[in-house]
Structure 1
Amino acid sequence: MADAERFTGHEHDHAHCVADALSAADIVCSQRGTRLTELRRQVLTLIWESHAPIGAYELIDKLSRAREADGEGGRVAPPTVYRALDFLIEQGLVHRIESRNAFVGCAQPEHPHRGYFLICEGCGTAHELEGGALDANLKARARDLDFDIRRITIEVAGRCPGCRKPGGRAASTTHSHAGDHA
């Protein structure tokens, strides 16, 4: 039941979570000879601060409001954010949640892997899982069929333990990106 406890870990240190993600991103980018620019860092921070998969236009709105609050003014252009998202995906720092056209931070950016997610229909929390046997089975079946896999993202919709409780949450107060990486 440890996975359920982690999934419902709605009360975690959010600042620590974001700091860990940014530290991992710095390491990954340094090892790969790429740069985590200020905009990329801001986008990644907003993704990790989100309690559920977050869409590009919500990111644009938040970035634009932050600019206005800082006196920098001006709306952030959508292509700029999409380029930052493309970079973050290419580096394995975020995953795209296809069904929601939204993004979540990757809990294990240091190694390439497939995206397997449990997504709560109640609170919107996305929990990343390690594929293990499922990944091996999919690859074997694709090989048997001479099928060239380009991308795999599996999304499983349901309700987390916190939302199944009587009076469960309608909206998430935190998130869990720390997947079952066994």
Structure 2
Amino acid sequence: MKTTTEHPLLSRAEKLCEQRNVRLTPQRLEVLRLMSQENGAISAYDLLDLLRQSEPQAKPTTIYRALDFLLEQGFVHRVESTNSFVLCHHFSELSHASVFFICDRCGQVTEQIAQGIDEILQHMASSDDFTLSHNVVEAHGFCPKCSEVKACQYPNVCTHDHKVIKNTKSLSL
């Protein structure tokens, strides 16, 4: 297993777990490390496949438990519409509302802090006497690279990189 000093995010996660008096086990840390190497979201089964490269005995429950812990600590987010998970780059902040921009062509997921969205959602919910427990804002469309491809009049002969969405297995949690 690699040391956490290779990625500052992992070191911050370790420190936060110490402060919170929760245990970041080697398996949980390895799952977080694997997620830190992804450019976007990853399904639980794809994550399990990666984990099995270093821990061949890993089972789906290994991933379930690790992801549950990482979600609880705010280190990762679940992307509801794609049943996948993405590393949170803002987990040091006590609470934040995020918006996920999901590319429908390549699957890239980017997170942005959504200033003021909590207040808007609270206001909308309270007008219906609804109590929010959590919220997820996801927007689908095309990343800049895929927008170029989509706008291309002759995609079969142009010079754009035509990346195809890879099939991901999903694991219900």
TM-score by length of 1: 0.75
Give the partner amino acid of 1:46: L
Measured after TM superposition, the shift of residue 169 of structure 1 is 5.0
Question: Does the 8 Å CA contact 2:76/2:88 hold for their aligned counterparts?
Answer: yes
Q: Which runs of 5 or more residues in structure 1 are unaligned?
A: 1-17, 68-73, 173-182
Measured after TM superposition, the shift of residue 95 of structure 1 is 0.1
Instruction: Summarize deviations over 1:111-150 as a string: whole Å, max 9, x none.
Output: 2223310111222221111121222111111122221111
Q: Which runs of 5 or more residues in structure 2 are unaligned?
A: 1-5, 150-159, 166-173
Question: Does the 8 Å CA contact 2:99/2:137 hold for their aligned counterparts?
Answer: yes
State the secondary structure of the residue aligned to 2:7. helix
Structure 1 window deviating more from structure 2 (159-168 vs 83-92): it is: 159-168
TM-score by length of 2: 0.79
CA RMSD in angstroms comes to: 2.0
Q: 1:159 aligns with which of 127, 136, 142?
A: 142
1:116 matched to which residue of 2? 99
Question: Does the 8 Å CA contact 2:103/2:141 hold for their aligned counterparts?
Answer: yes
Does 2:25 correspond to 1:37? yes
Separation in 1, partners of 2:52, 2:95: 32
Q: 2:12 aligns with which of 5, 17, 24?
A: 24
1:56 matched to which residue of 2? 44
Count, aligned residues: 150
Measured after TM superposition, the shift of residue 40 of structure 1 is 0.4
Q: Percent identity?
A: 38
1:92 matched to which residue of 2? 74
Does 1 or 2 have the higher relative contact order (CA < 8 Å, sep 6+)? Answer: 1
